[in-house]
Structure formats: structure tokens, C-alpha cells
Amino acid sequence: MDAYERITRNASEVVTEEEVRTLAEQPDEKRAYVGYEPSGVLHIGHMLTATKLIDLQEAGLDVTVLLADVHAYLNDKGTFEEIRETAERMKAQFLAYGLDEEQTEFVLGSTFQFDREYVLDLHALELNTTLSRAERAMAEIQSGESVKVSQAVYPLMQALDIVYLGVDLAVGGMEQRKVHMLARDVLPAIDEAPPTCLHTPLIADLATGVGKMSSSEGVTISMEDSRADIEEKVNAAYCPPTRDPEPDDQGRERENPVLQIFEYHVFPRFETVVVERPEEYGGDLTYDGYESLAADLESGDLHPADAKGALASYLDGLVAPGREKLREFEGR
């Protein structure tokens, strides 16, 4: 797999393809970043972009993980003291998850976002952005039902972070695309280049296959989960024997979250996947790629219950090191 392929695999979109191709020519000199609002426990949403960061590191890029304490504050997530405490835990879990320590730089937002120069640039961006545009960019990210002024500033800071972190590639889930498009539009106003962006897919809600999995509602899988928790959650997941389920009775599109997790979480991290299966149903199966597994599920050669069993055990393998880290933090 060449660098370009490695960088873009499993991405929902890349903006623009041409810019990424250029970047892929000298990956060793490039830097990608993702910003996360610190939270005490890594969940499967964090893990999705983290998996992409691991891809990027394997392709040769360096990675900056922004622990966005100021953003979390602006989004009403607590006091600075509380937020910074969770940032440390988050960093440890990312490393446990498999980010390369040598190739990863963790930066706390507050270490540069209060600099005079940064703030002046921020105000310049504010001057170039309408409130409705900023609000639109935040729609998928904000917490609470009424929009605060702080939340309008939020996406502009994301744009500026890309500049101040010296980043060549901004990575995020698809929910970040409006923010990134805003950044591309507005950064030229302060004579900065529009950032190249890479967006990961959103995984559907585990229980229903509708919409996207969210840590705030519905079921999610996190580093807090025991193996038994994971088995229980995966077993309860929506999983028809197809990768393209029918819309539900309200006409909402559905995905197969079990297949999605195989595709976006498991196969990027494991060369082969072994599905253990009782002799009664045909014995073990071995897959060396997502396509063959999905095809077998569709044909009926692989029963969803067996797929779920395998998924739970591989997910547990991904979560276990982070779970250990969390336990260490508890011990302190």
C-alpha cells in the first residue's frame, strides 16, 4: 500500500484530493492533527480518528493531538482545572491505544491560544465571519440547546489552530466538515492557506443503525467497558445480514454498525480476523480483509451472531490496553 492509499483509506472524503496527493509525495515532512475536547474516557468515536492517525503515522507523517481544553471550556464542559485533569488521562489512553509515542505530539490548547498574536488573529477572523455561518459550523458539535457566543468563537479557533500548530492536514470526523470548510473560506482573510482536510466516516448508532453513534445518547463502547460489557453491547447491536439495510419505518437511512466497526476499527488494526464458530455451524473462519467478511455475511455463510462474537473479542483487544491505563489512574 503506497502512502496516498494508506492516508486516504477508509476516509469519507478528502479536501482536496490533489492537495493530499502532493502531501503524500513527502509524507515524512508532513504533520497531521486532530483536536479533541478532553474527556476522561476514550470512546469508539475517538478511536475512529485515532485509527486514522495510526494510518498516517505508518505512512510517515507526524501527528499532533490537540487536547482542546479551551474549546471544551467554551463548550461549557467544566472548569479549566477539571478539563486539564481529564486531558492527562486522555493522553495516556491514546498512547495505550497505539499511537506512536515518537511520532505524536500532544499539545494543550491553552499553551498557545491565549498568546496575544493568536487572540488578535482570532478577532480578525471574527470580523470576517457572520454569526450565522459560525453557528452553522457548530451545529453538530455544540452541547446544550441554546447557542452561546462562546460556541460561535469555537470553530474560528479551530481554524486558527491549524495555522498555529503548523499543520499540513486537518483530520476529523464528517461532523467536522462544516468547521473545516469554514476554515478554508476564512483563513485566506488573514493571509493563511486553506487547510487540507481528511474526514472519517461516522459510525451508525449501534442499537438501531440509524444516524450516528454518539457518546451522549444511545450505546457507545469505551475504554471503561469490560470484555463482558463489550460482548453485551455488541450482541445487542442491530445487524441484518446485509451491508445496506432498508430504511426504517420512518424512512430514515440505516447502516449496519457491526460491519462498519469491522471495516473502520478492526481490519485497519488486524491483518487477519478469525471468527470462532462451533463445529455445529461449520467451524472457524478466517478473513484477511473486510470485503470477504462482508460478502460472507450477505451470502449467509457467516451468521451475524458469529460475526458479533468475533467483533466483540477484537474490539476488546483494542480496548484492553486503554482499560489498563484507566485502572492505573484510578489507583493513584
Interface mask toward RNA for 236-255; x: CB under 7 A: xxxxxx------xx------
Choosing from 55, 168, 225, 306, the residue that interacts with RNA (CB under 7 A) is: 306
Contact residue for RNA among 305, 317, 327, 328 (CB under 7 A) = 305
- Of 102 and 250, CB closest to RNA: 250
Counting contacts by CB under 7 A, is residue 60 touching RNA?
no
Nearer to RNA, 161 or 263 (CB): 263
CB 87 within 8 A of CB 65: no
> In whole angstroms, what separates CA 59 from the centre of its chain?
18
Is the Cβ of residue 123 or residue 252 nearer to RNA in the bound state?
252
From candidates 22, 128, 150, 235, binder to RNA by CB under 7 A: 235
Distances (CA, A) of 238 to 153, 158, 241, 270, 314: 38, 35, 10, 23, 18
* Nearest distance in Å: CB 323, RNA: 23
Residue placing its CB nearer to RNA in the complex, 201 or 240: 240
Q: Write the binding mask 119 to 148 for RNA: x where contact by CB under 7 A, - elsewhere.
A: --------------------------xx--
- The reply to whether 296 sits near RNA by the rule CB under 7 A is no
> Residue 72 in contact with residue 83, Cβ under 8 Å?
yes
The CA-based dihedral angle spanning residues 308, 309, 312, 317, taken in that order and rounded to the nearest 10 degrees = -140
Whether residue 169 contacts residue 176, with contact meaning beta carbons closer than 8 Å, is answered with no
Please, which residue, 150 or 235, has the CB nearer to RNA? 235
Cell 494543550 sits on residue:
108
Distance between CA atoms of residues 221 and 41, nearest Å: 10
Burial zone of 1 (CB within 10 Å; 0-12 exposed, 13-18 middle, 19+ buried) = exposed
The dihedral region occupied by 256, where left means phi > 0, alpha psi between -120 and 50, and beta the remainder, is: beta
Choose, by CB under 7 A, the member of 207, 214, 270, 292 that binds RNA. 207
Binding residues for RNA, rule: CB under 7 A, are: 145-146, 207-208, 235-241, 248-249, 258, 277-278, 281, 303-306, 308
